[in-house]
Structures are given as C-alpha cells and as structure tokens.
Amino acid sequence: MFLFYWAILFLLLTGTIAVLEMNQKIPDMLEQPLHDMYADRIIIYLEDAGIMKEVLGDFSYQTEFCGNRNGFWLDNLSVFQGNDEFWGIQGLILLNHSLPDSSQLSEFNKSIMDGELCSSQKGGLWISEVMQKQSGFSCGDTLAFCLNDGTEVCDLTILGVFAEGDRAPHYYISEDVYQAYARFAPEDSLAITIIPEVFRDIFQMVSVLREQGLEFIYSEEAINALSMAFILFSAIVAVLLISLFSILTHLLQFYYNKRRRFFAVNAALGLDSRSTAKILILTAECLVLSALTAAFIAALFYVNAIRQYTGDLFEITAKNSFYSLSTILITLITVQADVALVLYTFFRRNKRINIIDVIREN
C-alpha cells in the first residue's frame, strides 16, 4: 500500500514538473528567432503589445542631408517622440501626414538640441512611407540634422519605415527584436506571432502591409492554441498540487495507523511526543524528496517528448534539456509548503497515542 501511494506521488510530481517546465519555456520558444530553421522569416512574440509601429524593412543605400549639404528641409511634418524605454524604442518617429503643430516642432527641436538622442546608442529615426516616397530614404540611411544654424550636426540612422493608415492604434516592435530582424535581413517575408488581445489590431496592420506587397503568414489557430495551452497548463499544475496535498495526507495517516503499536510501545519506553513528531516529519520528507528526485529525472523525458511534439506542431525549435531555475524553485517551494501544511493538519487531527490505547484495541 505504501509503495502504491509512493508510485502515485511519483507520477503526480512527474506530471507537475513536466507541465511547469513547459509553461516556463513557451514564451522563450516563441521569442527565439528562427533564423536557424527558416532563413527567410522570423517569428516575433509581442508581449502585452499595447502600442506598436508597423515596420517594413528595406536596406539599400545611404544618403545624408543637412542645411549645408545635399538634402532638403523637413517641412509639413509632425513629430512623435518615441523615447519609451519600456517598449525598447529610442528615437524619433516622423509622421508626414499633417501640418506641423508648433508645440510638436519645438519638442522635436528641443530633443535634438538637448543632444539626448544623438548621444544615445540606440537613437534613430522612424519615418513614414509617405516621407520615404517623397525623399527616397530607406532603412539604414543616416540623416544628419543641423543644429544651431549648422554649427552642430547630429546623425541619426533610419531604423524603420512604417505604414500609415487611418490613425489606427500604432504598434512598437522592440529594438532588439528589430535588430535581430535587421541582422538577418530577410528578403521575402515577415512572420509575426502575437497574443490574441492585439490580434485584431495586428490583422489590420497585416492587411495594410499586404497592400505594400509584403507577404505575411499568421495562424489564428496557433495563436489561440498557445493561449489555451498557457491557461490549461497553469490549471493542471494547480490541480496536481492540490491532489498532492490530499495524497500526502492519506499516506501519512496510513503510515501512522500502521505503526500505531510501534509509536505506542516506544512512548512507553520513553519516546516523547516531540521525537515522535520528528520521526513523522522525517518520514514525510524522505517519502516526498525521494519521489521528487525520481520525478525530476522522469519528467526530463516527458519534457523532451512534449517539446518534440510542439516543435512539430508550432514550428518551434527545441532547446537543450535543462530545467529552468524557476521550475526547480517553484516545485521545491510548493512541495515543501504542501508537506508543511499536511504535517500541520495531521498533528492537529491526531492526538498522541499511548500503549493504553493499543492495549485496549487488542
């Protein structure tokens, strides 16, 4: 009976660890660029993407402009300062679809003159496609801005060209993700995988970009499935841990009942209740830790199998088979908390037995 319960405990813990590990890894897997597998596209996972900018990539040529060099004066422009570190975007975003607001212009000038963006490693420009068409500039081009009537020059590189729509919500893509994209310079297509909350907005963006001739691939089913997977996995872990509490309680009670005579006789020989409690705690810990160790080993096989399966299903690369620290910590802490709760409940429920009770039972 004792082995039966241990086996249940082992299976329970194996399942919990495997599910926990998968849950930790899914966001990482989604964020990883797939340049290894797919040379012409990457998958970008956008977390809590409340606002993004549409970005097109086209790296071709260089030019420069300044009041004293070849170029033109910027006019009829609106400025949106994208200096939000949270979104990972640093630089200026120039919208060229309306008359400039004087306050926006002065803000633009102020930013340039403060040298804030010029000194930033990540400082850059994002320009609209309308501006692109007018000026002929493209991604990768460096524009020189003249300050103080040309005595100071600030170079800013164009990081992206975005599509302008009907003032739909704008979206940002994080700088490092974009750089990953830019580094591999995909030529044909851009694939974006996102959370369902912003799906409709992205769909709109996708539609706009499609009109630009860029091919987009997306899967609503995959998006929904992954979202469900998160919820399902979390629910499974919670159920498993509650079951663990119940099983441990039964197991400890079973063990105590089986060993009643042992504890009673030893109480008569001089074993006090504190020592009895120590024996029970040690027994519970040995049982749980042995099952946990075996479960960690067994779960590795399950995790690899699941990764293989999800890799085939969602086209995600499998990583090396090491547990993430969060999985280990969550498992250890939660299991110990479970054991503590079980022991507390057990000692409250079971009064100290003594030889008299045993004698009367016999």
Partner 1 sequence: MIICQNLIKEFGTADNIFRAVNDVSFRIEKGEFAALIGASGSGKSTLMNMIGLIDMPTKGSILLDGEETSPMSEKQRAALRWGKIGYVFQSFYLEEAYTVSQNIEMALLISGTEAPERKKRIDECLEQVGLLHKKEALASSLSGGEKQRCCIARAIANRPKLLLADEPCGNLDSENTEKIMELLTQLNRQGTTVLLITHDLEDAKRASHIITLKDGSVISDEK
- Which residues contact partner 1 by CB under 8 A? 261-262, 264-275, 354-356, 358-359, 362
Query: Residue 173 and residue 87: Cα distance in Å, rounded?
Result: 7
* Contact predicate 30/226, CB 8 Å: yes
Q: Least distance in Å: CB of 4 to partner 1?
A: 19
Q: Least distance in Å: CB of 352 to partner 1?
A: 8
* Contact predicate 142/155, CB 8 Å: yes
Alpha carbon distances (Å) from 226 to 26, 44, 48, 280: 8, 14, 15, 43
Q: Least distance in Å: CB of 266 to partner 1?
A: 6
Spacing of C-alpha 341 from chain mean position: 31
| Type of residue at 6 | W
Nearer to partner 1, 199 or 262 (CB): 262
Q: Least distance in Å: CB of 272 to partner 1?
A: 4
Q: Least distance in Å: CB of 347 to partner 1?
A: 14
Strands 189-194 and 142-147: what pairing? unpaired
Nearer to partner 1, 51 or 277 (CB): 277
Sheet holding 43-46, edge to edge: 43-46, 189-194, 215-217
Q: Least distance in Å: CB of 241 to partner 1?
A: 34
Alpha carbon distances (Å) from 66 to 90, 143, 154, 244, 344: 22, 8, 10, 70, 76
Q: Least distance in Å: CB of 354 to partner 1?
A: 6
Spacing of C-alpha 49 from chain mean position: 12
Nearer to partner 1, 1 or 231 (CB): 1
Nearer to partner 1, 39 or 268 (CB): 268
Query: Taking the C-alpha atoms of 101, 105, 110 and 113 in order, what is their torsion angle to the nearest 10 degrees?
Result: 180
Alpha carbon distances (Å) from 269 to 257, 352, 359: 19, 15, 15
Q: Least distance in Å: CB of 362 to partner 1?
A: 7
Nearer to partner 1, 22 or 267 (CB): 267
| Type of residue at 137 | F
Nearer to partner 1, 269 or 325 (CB): 269
Q: Which stretches within the chain are classed as H helix?
A: 2-31, 102-114, 116-119, 129-135, 175-184, 199-211, 220-258, 260-269, 273-314, 325-349, 355-361
Nearer to partner 1, 102 or 362 (CB): 362
Quick one: angle between helices 273-314 and 2-31, nearest 10? 40
Short-list 105, 181, 114, 122, CA closest to 156: 122
Nearer to partner 1, 44 or 280 (CB): 280
For 253-271, b/e burial (b = at least 16 CB within 10 A) is eebbeeeeeebbebbeeeb
**CA atoms in the 13 A half-sphere facing the CB of 250:** 13
Q: Least distance in Å: CB of 269 to partner 1?
A: 5
Nearer to partner 1, 279 or 289 (CB): 279
